[in-house]
Structure 1
Amino acid sequence: MNQSKTVNVLAPSYMQGFQCVGSACVETCCSSWHIAIDEPTYRKYQTIRIEPLASQLRQHVQLSSEAAKAQGAYASIPLALGESCPMLDEQQLCSIQTTLGAEALSSTCSDFPRIYVHDGQRLAMAASLSCPEAARLALADEQALDLVELPLAFSAQRPPALHRRRASAGAQEQDLVRRHGGLLASVISALLRLHSLSAEQALVYGGLILRRVAGLAGQEFGAAEAALEQVLEQFLGPQTLQRAPELVAGLSVPKGAQFSLLLAASQRFMRDHGGRASFRALMDEVSKGLELGQSPSHCLARYEQADQDYLRPFLAEHPHLLKNYALNSVLSSVFPREGMAELPHEFMELAVRLALIRFYLVGLAALRGPELSVDDVRRTVYGVARNIEHNRRFLPGVMQALEAHGALRLEVLATLLL
C-alpha cells in the first residue's frame, strides 16, 4: 500500500497561491535545459511497455556522466536551447503524466519550481524564481515573503528531495558560522525587512556585519562567540540601526568600476553561453538602453543618469521587489550553510546575483524611462534565475573573474550594489 504522510513546512506566503499555469506559461520549464531524472524513476521507466511511450523513453532518456550522477541527475532528457521536451504531446501536456499519472514523474518534474531545504531545525520550502509564475507571485507585494506554515503531503515511499541543507550543529561544534548559522540568516532577513533600508543597503550593511564575523576566524571558540555577541549588539542596536541608512549612504561607490565589472560579467555570459531567447532579448534591450556601441564614457553617463533619474525613484516606490528576491534567495539557499571559511563567498554570490539584476534594470530604465514597470522587474528576475542561477559554470566563472579584479571581498559590496 502506498501510504502518504503530511508534514508542516515553513514557506513564504506566496507558495499558498502557486499553481503551474501549464501551456499559458510565458516560458515553460519543459524546454531549453537538461531535465534531470533520478535513479528510481529511471529504473521505473525501463519497465514501461506501453507504446509509444516506452519507445519514446528509451530514445530520449539518457544515462548521465558519473559527475552528473553525483549531483543527483542519474539520467536526463537533454534539450538544446529553444528545444521543447519530446515527451510533450500535441496539447503540450506531458505524455508521461497523462499515461502513467503524476506519480511517474521524476522528482525534478514533480517538484519544480519548488525547492525543499532543511535549515538544521526544520523543513522549509520556497520556489525557484526561474519560473515566471513563481516570480510573479513572489514579487507581487510586500507580504509575499512573510513566512507561514503549509501542510505538505507526500508518498512515504518518495519523500521530498532536499535541494540544500544546513547540518544541525552539535554541542561540540567549533565553527562559529555552523554553530550560529540560523542566527546569521535571521539577521540578514531582518535587515532586508527593515523599511528604512533598501535591498541594496540591507545587503551592504549585512556585509559589514559579516565582514566583522569573518574577522573572528582563528580565535578560540569561546572568545569568538563572545565577540560575535558584541558585534551583533554593536550593529543591531536601535540607535545604530537608525543611523544605518546614513552610514551606508556615506560609503564610496565608484560607479565606473561598478559599470565595468557588471558589464564584463554580462558580456562574458553572452559570449560563452548565449542564454535563452528571452534572455537574449532582455540583453538586447539593456544594450540599446545603455547605447553600448558608443564610447565607454557615453555609456557610463547613460548608466548613471538612468540609475539616478528612473531606477532609484522606481525602486523607492516599489521597495519590496528586490527585497523579496533577496529574501527568497536567503531562504532557498539556506544561507549560510557552510562554515566560517566559506561565509564571504556565500554572501558575495547572493550579492552578485542582485547586482546583476539591478544592472539590467538600469539598462531597461535607460530604454524605458518613466515607463519602467513591475513586469520589467519580474522578467529580469526570472531571466537571471533561469539563465545564470541554473548555469553551473557561469556564476563560478563570474566569481573567479571578480576575485581576479580584487572585487570578491565583502569590503567592495558597496561598489557592486549601491
Structure 2
Amino acid sequence: MQIHKVIKPAFVERFKCVGAECLISCCQGWNIFIEKKTHHRYLNADNTQISSIAKAHLRPTRKGKNHYSVITFDTQGQCPFIDENKLCSVQRELGEQALSPTCAIYPRITRRYADETRHSMTLSCPEVARLVLFDADSMMQHESEQLLANAKTNLIGQRQPVSQVSQVIHLFAWNLIQAQTHNIEENLMALAHFILYLQRIEFNLHQRFDEAQAYYHLLLTDLQTGESLLTAQPSAQSLALKVRALAVLGSLVANDASRDGYVTQGHRQVAEFLNVAELQDGAALGEKFATIDAQWLTLRQTSCLAAPHVLRNYLLYKIYHSHFPGTDVTTVMRQFYRMVLDYFYIKHLLSVKSLTEEVDQPLVLKTLASLAEKTLHSSTLDQRMNKAIDMINAGDDLSCLLLIG
C-alpha cells in the first residue's frame, strides 16, 4: 500500500460549464476526435437526429481507437451537434455519459507523478480564466490523500517522480509570486533573481539550503519594503528586444489558425500602433513603449485588473499548471522565459486595446483564452517556443529580464 497525494486548486473544484453563456465556445475551430466506441454509439443511436448528424459529420480517420474519427464542422464552423441554443444535443438527448472523452474531459487536465496527482484546467476555456483571475482565493490548493493498492502502486512506480529539490524550488517560486506588492512585475523580477542564485549554486539545495533560504528572505524583504528590483529606464537594448519579441510572437502565435481572432486582431493593433518601419529614431520608439507602459499602469489601477489578486493569480496559475520547475531543474530559466513572454504579450495586447476601447472582464477573458488556445494546445509547442526564444534572446536567456517592466 502507498499513500498518494491529490491536489486540487479551488478553481478546479468550482468549475461548471456555462454552456450558451460561454464567451468562446470550445465546440468550434478545433479538431474534435471521437474514439471508436463513441463513433459507433452515435451512428447507431436510437435518436434519429444524433444518428443522422453522425453519419453526415463523423469522418473516419482510423488513427487508433482513440482517434477513430473526427467531427467535421457545419457551414458556420460549429460542431453540428450544437443546437440553436448553443447547447450540446448529445448531452441533452443521450446524457452526459455519452459524451466523447475529448468533450467530457475538456478543459480538465490531470498530471500524475509517482507520489502525487495534480488537477488543473486550461485557460483556453474563458470560464476557467474567469475563475482563476477574478476569484480572490482561486489558487488555494486543497490536498487529500489516497491509500493505493499494490497493483496501482506498481503502475505509479513507473511514473517519473518530482525531486525534493524541484519541490522546494516550486515552493520558493510560489511564495515569491504570492508576496503582496503594488507591482506584480517586482515579484517576477524577484523570482528571476532567485533563479539566477540557484544557477550559481548549481541547484545544490541539499548542502546550501540555509543560504538559499536566507537569500529568499532577503528578496521577500525587498518586496515588502518596496525596494525596487526593476530597471529604472528602458535602454536601446531593451527596446530592440521588445520589438523582436513582438515580431516573433506575431509569427508564432498571432498568425496561427485558431477558433477565434482575438489575439490575431490584437497583435495587428499592436503592430499598427508601434508602426516601427515608419519611426524616425529610437526616441520615437521609446515614446511608443512609454505610452504602452502608462496604459498598463492605468489598467492595473482602474480596470478590472486592479484588484491585487488578479495578475498575481494569473502568475500563480502559471507556476501551478506547469508544476514549475518540473522534473528538470536545468531548464528553469527557459521555463521562466516562457512565463515572462506570456505576461509581456498580454500586457501589450491589452494596453494597446485600451487606447481605443474599454478593457473590461469579457475582453480580458477572451484575450487570455485566445492566447492559451495557441500556447497550450499544440504537440509541437515546446519545440516552437524554444526556437522562438532563441530568435528573441540572441543566445542569452537573461535577456528576459529586459521584458519585465
Normalised-by-shorter TM-score class: 0.7 to 0.9
Secondary structure of the 2:25 match is: coil
- Is residue 209–residue 231 contact of structure 1 (8 Å, CA) maintained in 2? no
CA deviations 1:162-214 (Å, max 9, x no partner) are xxx98325xxxxxxxx3422222222111111013743332332233223334
Tell me how far apart the structure 2 counterparts of residues 150 and 380 of structure 1 sit (CA, whole Å): 34
Partner of 1:26: 23
Partner of 2:137: 143
Partner of 1:104: 98
Q: CA deviation at 1:304?
A: 1.6
Secondary structure of the 2:77 match is: coil
Does residue 351 in structure 1 map to residue 340 in structure 2?
yes
- Is residue 144–residue 324 contact of structure 1 (8 Å, CA) maintained in 2? yes
- Is residue 306–residue 363 contact of structure 1 (8 Å, CA) maintained in 2? yes
Q: CA deviation at 1:416?
A: 2.0
Q: Which residues of 2 match residues 218-257 of structure 1 at below 5 A?
A: 224-230=204-210, 232-237=212-217, 239-244=218-223, 246=227, 248-250=229-231, 254=235, 255-257=238-240
Partner of 2:151: none
Q: Which residues of 2 match residues 392-407 of structure 1 at below 5 A?
A: 392-393=379-380, 396-406=383-393
- Is residue 188–residue 206 contact of structure 1 (8 Å, CA) maintained in 2? yes
RMSD between aligned residues: 3.8
Secondary structure of the 1:85 match is: coil
Q: CA deviation at 1:311?
A: 1.0
Tell me how far apart the structure 1 counterparts of residues 339 and 31 of structure 2 sit (CA, whole Å): 24
The correspondence for 1:113, drawn from 101, 104, 107, is: 107
Could you say if the C-alpha distance between residues 404 and 262 of structure 1 is closer, same or farther in structure 2, counting changes exceeding 3 Å?
A: closer
TM-score between both structures, scaled by the size of structure 1:
0.76
Tell me how far apart the structure 2 counterparts of residues 403 and 10 of structure 1 sit (CA, whole Å): 34
Partner of 2:153: none
Could you say if the C-alpha distance between residues 301 and 27 of structure 1 is closer, same or farther in structure 2, counting changes exceeding 3 Å?
A: same
**Which amino acid counterpart does residue 83 of structure 1 have in structure 2?**
G
Q: CA deviation at 1:34?
A: 1.0
**Which amino acid counterpart does residue 246 of structure 2 have in structure 1?**
L
Query: May I ask how many residue pairs the two structures share in their alignment?
Result: 381
**Which amino acid counterpart does residue 16 of structure 2 have in structure 1?**
Q
CA deviations 1:104-127 (Å, max 9, x no partner) are 212221122222233554333232
Partner of 1:13: 10
**Which amino acid counterpart does residue 29 of structure 1 have in structure 2?**
C
CA deviations 1:129-160 (Å, max 9, x no partner) are 111122122211432222235999xxxxxxxx
- Is residue 188–residue 202 contact of structure 1 (8 Å, CA) maintained in 2? no
**Which amino acid counterpart does residue 347 of structure 1 have in structure 2?**
F
Q: Any gaps of 5 or more consecutive residues in structure 1?
A: 1-6, 153-164, 170-177
Moved over 6 A (4+): none
Secondary structure of the 1:11 match is: strand
Tell me how far apart the structure 1 counterparts of residues 142 and 272 of structure 2 sit (CA, whole Å): 42
* Deviation larger for 52-61 or 326-335: 52-61
* Deviation larger for 352-361 or 386-395: 386-395
Q: CA deviation at 1:271?
A: 6.8
- Is residue 176–residue 220 contact of structure 2 (8 Å, CA) maintained in 1? no
Q: CA deviation at 1:47?
A: 6.1
- Is residue 165–residue 205 contact of structure 2 (8 Å, CA) maintained in 1? no
Partner of 2:267: 283
Does residue 167 in structure 1 map to residue 192 in structure 2?
no
Partner of 1:3: none
Q: CA deviation at 1:392?
A: 4.3
Aligned-residue identity in percent: 21
- Is residue 181–residue 187 contact of structure 2 (8 Å, CA) maintained in 1? no
Could you say if the C-alpha distance between residues 256 and 28 of structure 1 is closer, same or farther in structure 2, counting changes exceeding 3 Å?
A: same
TM-score between both structures, scaled by the size of structure 2:
0.78
Does residue 340 in structure 1 map to residue 329 in structure 2?
yes
Could you say if the C-alpha distance between residues 186 and 271 of structure 1 is closer, same or farther in structure 2, counting changes exceeding 3 Å?
A: closer
Tell me how far apart the structure 1 counterparts of residues 62 and 210 of structure 2 sit (CA, whole Å): 49
Could you say if the C-alpha distance between residues 277 and 271 of structure 1 is closer, same or farther in structure 2, counting changes exceeding 3 Å?
A: closer
CA deviations 1:380-404 (Å, max 9, x no partner) are 2222112333244466434313213
Q: Any gaps of 5 or more consecutive residues in structure 2?
A: 147-157
Partner of 1:95: 89
Tell me how far apart the structure 1 counterparts of residues 37 and 182 of structure 2 sit (CA, whole Å): 47
- Is residue 255–residue 264 contact of structure 2 (8 Å, CA) maintained in 1? no
Does residue 390 in structure 1 map to residue 384 in structure 2?
no
- Is residue 5–residue 116 contact of structure 2 (8 Å, CA) maintained in 1? no
Partner of 1:36: 33
Tell me how far apart the structure 1 counterparts of residues 198 and 83 of structure 2 sit (CA, whole Å): 54
**Which amino acid counterpart does residue 194 of structure 1 have in structure 2?**
A
**Which amino acid counterpart does residue 295 of structure 1 have in structure 2?**
L
Q: CA deviation at 1:326?
A: 1.6
Tell me how far apart the structure 1 counterparts of residues 228 and 118 of structure 2 sit (CA, whole Å): 34
Q: Which residues of 2 match residues 206-217 of structure 1 at below 5 A?
A: 206-215=191-200
Could you say if the C-alpha distance between residues 348 and 266 of structure 1 is closer, same or farther in structure 2, counting changes exceeding 3 Å?
A: closer
Q: CA deviation at 1:216?
A: 5.0
Does residue 311 in structure 1 map to residue 296 in structure 2?
yes
Partner of 1:261: 244
Could you say if the C-alpha distance between residues 320 and 120 of structure 1 is closer, same or farther in structure 2, counting changes exceeding 3 Å?
A: farther
Could you say if the C-alpha distance between residues 274 and 111 of structure 1 is closer, same or farther in structure 2, counting changes exceeding 3 Å?
A: closer
Q: CA deviation at 1:290?
A: 4.2
Tell me how far apart the structure 1 counterparts of residues 205 and 31 of structure 2 sit (CA, whole Å): 44
Could you say if the C-alpha distance between residues 118 and 80 of structure 1 is closer, same or farther in structure 2, counting changes exceeding 3 Å?
A: farther
